[in-house]
Amino acid sequence: MYRWLGVVGCLLGATAGAQNVQACGGTPGLPAWVQAGVYSGTLGSSTVTLGLSPRNIDANRYFYAGRAADLFLTPFRSGNTLILQEEVRLDYGAETTVSGCLTLERDGTALRGTWKVPGTARTLKVTLEAMNVAKVALKLPASPGLTRLRRSDPLTFLKLNRPWTNTADGRRTREPLSGLSYPRVPGASPALELVLQDRLLEHAAAGLNCKSWLPQRAQGDDGYTLNVGVTLLTSRLLSLREDVGYSCGGAHPDSSTTGLILDRATGRHIPLQTLWPSLTPARLKTLYLALPGTEPDSECDDILHGMEPSFAVYLTPAGLNLTPDSLPHVIAACAETVMVPYGQLRTGANRASPYYPELYGR
């Protein structure tokens, strides 16, 4: 079914700051003056952007301009001085290590201080000014997803709020920092363009989040991959299949498949039961198990019969495609895609739907 991506970070286990390693001094916690906010400025000669949050430890992080990954920070304090301990993992299975100490004082609305590697004497000057992210000019068309990202994850918004490019053949739009791309639709309405932008925005945000959780020596890996194809395009309908693979530093890689059925003019999601009112989840499971491609004597048979009736659904010129989307990673190979021919669904189709002629003719 059509669904937004979950937060990748929730799938990855403990946070980078889970270890209480106090290499930078101070005591746990934040000075009373610290409030949630975003700051931008310089660390040495580099441009950085930093986010602070008293309530959400994972929101204490910063990034260098032009880099996809964030560096996670664990807060400490010494009187009114804020100490942010920069923590990383160097390799898979490695313990978290402290790679830097930010020591900051409040100066009006700004933050000023130093950064250094623990145990060394050399320091770099840090100067950060408070940002009002809500007033940052949009460099992409205004969309619900872009507005939501600016509010919920301002650091990721600042990284992704830049002009995107089209591939040389003009068939896909590419987000440059994550490297992910999404299909373009010829003659797409403005509303549909915004929906497609938000799909790529959602994946790009997840991809950058995944990159941040990778160990330092794996930062060049493709931790998050996206393959999207248009499976049906008619005068009124657009259907797509999204396949995501991700390995973001957790114990095992994983993957997911999402199907979308959209109104080409409005970009709105079309519920499957708008097209076929009788296609409840239970009915979809019955159809799936009865179709060729699910072998009754295979080792997957018991698994498929016991699975939740949840499917990624999308349209093709020949029929409705179903892919189980609730199987755990270890048995995901059993989630084969099968197609239900439109003719088999004709008697239960909604003839009053404006989409009926798109699938069955007039």
Chain segment 203-257, per-residue pLDDT in tens: 999 999 999 988 877 777 778 999 999 999 999 999 999 999 998 877 678 899 9
Confidence grade of residue 294 (pLDDT, cut at 50, 70, 90): low
Domain count, the chain: 1
| Best CA proximity match to 328, nearest among 272, 251, 259 | 251
Both tokens of 57, joined, read 């430890």
The answer to whether the beta carbons of residues 240 and 184 sit under 8 Å apart is no
Order the strands of the 224-233 sheet from edge to edge. 224-233, 237-246, 254-263
CA distance 298 to 49: 53
Task: Answer whether residue 132 is part of any domain.
Answer: yes
Position 309 in a domain: no
Assigned domain for 37 exists: yes
Reading the block at residue 330, the tokens are 């270890």
Q: What is the pLDDT of residues 74-121, one digit of tens each?
A: 999 999 999 999 999 888 777 889 999 999 999 999 999 999 999 899
- Specify if 256 maps to a domain: no
Q: Which two tokens stand for residue 225?
A: 């991959």
Supply the range of the domain harboring residue 143. 17-207
Cβ contacts of 117 within 8 Å, gap of 6 or more: 99, 100, 101
Segment 16-46, tens digit of pLDDT: 444 456 899 999 989 999 999 999 999 999 9
pLDDT for 93 equals 76
Length of the chain: 362
Q: Does residue 249 fall inside a structural domain?
A: no
Q: Is residue 360 part of a domain?
A: no
Mean pLDDT of the chain: 89
CA distance 213 to 32: 29
- Domain membership of residue 325 (yes or no) is no
pLDDT at 298: 67
Domain contains 313: no
Look at the alpha carbons of 341, 342, 343, 346 in this order and tell me if their dihedral is positive or negative. positive
Q: What separation in angstroms does the CA of 284 have from each of 198, 207, 273, 303? A: 28, 31, 11, 16
By the 8 A CB rule, do 252 and 329 touch?
A: yes
According to the model, what pLDDT value does residue 5 have? 42
Q: What is the spatial distance between Cα 89 and Cα 99, in angstroms, rounded to a whole number?
A: 9
